[in-house]
Amino acid sequence: MPGDWLLIFSDGIPEAANSNEGDFGDERLLRAVTRRKHDTAAPICGRIVDEMREHIREQRQADDITLISANCCNIE
């Protein structure tokens, strides 16, 4: 249906950790998507990666980052 989203991601995103707060987590990932739900797929992916990088700060990413998003739009 228009407005539906498909988001496929590897465990490297929710498990991205910093030295203070632990993992990025599924809840932060969901909030990042929800805040931008009216955008297209590319900005959603960019925002998720930006927020994840802000979370880990200077920590080195220990796992792969794979992220695929698609949204259904109403084509007239």
Query: What is the per-residue pLDDT across 20-57, written as a single tens digit (0 to 9) for each?
Result: 879 999 999 999 888 887 788 888 899 999 999 999 98
Residue 11 within any structural domain of the chain = yes
Residue 62 within any structural domain of the chain = yes
Tokens standing for residue 40:
């297209």
Residue 25 within any structural domain of the chain = yes
**pLDDT: which is higher, 24 or 59:** 24
Residue 61 and residue 68: Cα distance in Å, rounded? Answer: 18
pTM, 2 dp: 0.78
Segment holding 18, helix H or strand E = strand 17-18
Tokens standing for residue 41:
């797929």
Domain that holds residue 25: 5-71
Residue 76 within any structural domain of the chain = no
Give the chain's domain count.
Answer: 1
Residue 29 and residue 14: Cα distance in Å, rounded? Answer: 7
